[in-house]
Structure 1
Amino acid sequence: MQKTPNRTFRRRGALLAFAGLLLGTAAATAGETGKIDVELNSLSQSAKGCEVSFVMRNGFETAIDALTFEIVLFDDDGRIASLLNLKAGDLPVGKTRVKQFRLAKCERVSRILINDVSECSGTDLTPKACLQKLNVTNRTGVKFGL
C-alpha cells in the first residue's frame, strides 16, 4: 500500500500530539519551578501505628538545608486530635524525596492541615517564604491542605 500525503501528515500529526502529551505530563509530574511540592501520598494503619507518606520536591533554585512542618490532625468530628512538628530534613534542588512518619492511630483522622512551616533554612530562605511557596496535592481520602 502506497502512502498518500494526507495519511503521512495525519500520522505525523498524531505522533506530534502524542509527544506533546508526554512532554506535558512530564512537566506536570516534575512540579512547578519556585515551589515546594508536598503530596500526601498514603495514610494507613499498621501494627506499629499510623504510617503517613509524603512525596516532596524542591522546585527552588537553591537547596533546602532543613525543612520542618507544623501539622494539625483533625478527627472525624472536626476536632483537633494533635499538633505535630514533622521534620522533613533537607531537600536538594530538583530532588523528589519520600518521607514517612509514624503517628498514633489514624482510623479517625479526617483532615491533615499544614498549619505552618516552622523551619526552612537555606540560602535566602525563610519559613514564611517557604510556606507561601507550598504546592499541596493529595492521593488519599483524607482532606489535606494549607
Structure 2
Amino acid sequence: MTRHRIAVASADHVRRGLKGGFMQVCHGKIAPLNRIEAGDHVAYYSPTEILGSKDGLQSFTAIGTVKTGDPYNFDMGNGFVPSRRDVDWDEAHTASIRPLLDKLEFTAGRPNWGAQLRFGLLQISAGDFALIEAAVKNKTAP
C-alpha cells in the first residue's frame, strides 16, 4: 500500500538530494528511512532556505517517489555518514504552505501546525498529498 509522507529539511539540503537522486531525514538517521517503502510518495517541506537561518521560507520544495532498495550510508566526509534512500524526483517548483494551511487535513484549524513537522518525517493522507502535488506542479487542486 502506497503511503504519503512529508520530509523536512532546509531548501539547500533538499537541492543536494534532488541533484543526487536521494533523500535524507532527521540529520541522517536511518530509523525514519526504514519506515519508508519503495513506491511511497514523499514531499519535502522546507521551513528555511538555509539550515539554521530564520528566513521563514515555509514551502514545499520537492516531490517524488521512493525507489526500490534499502537505506544506505553515504560518507560525506569529516566523520558525517548519514543514511539515504533513493528517490525518483518529479519536476516541481517551490510552493508556499500558507495558501494550503486551511485545506490540508494535518494543518487545518491548528494554530501550531508546524509542531508536528519538527520530527522530520510525517505520514499524511492521500488527499493532502494531492493538494501539495497540485501546488508544486502548478495544477488545479483535486
**What TM-score, normalized by structure 2, do the two folds share?**
0.28
The structure with the greater share of residues assigned to helix is 2
The structure with the greater share of residues assigned to strand is 1
**What TM-score, normalized by structure 1, do the two folds share?**
0.28
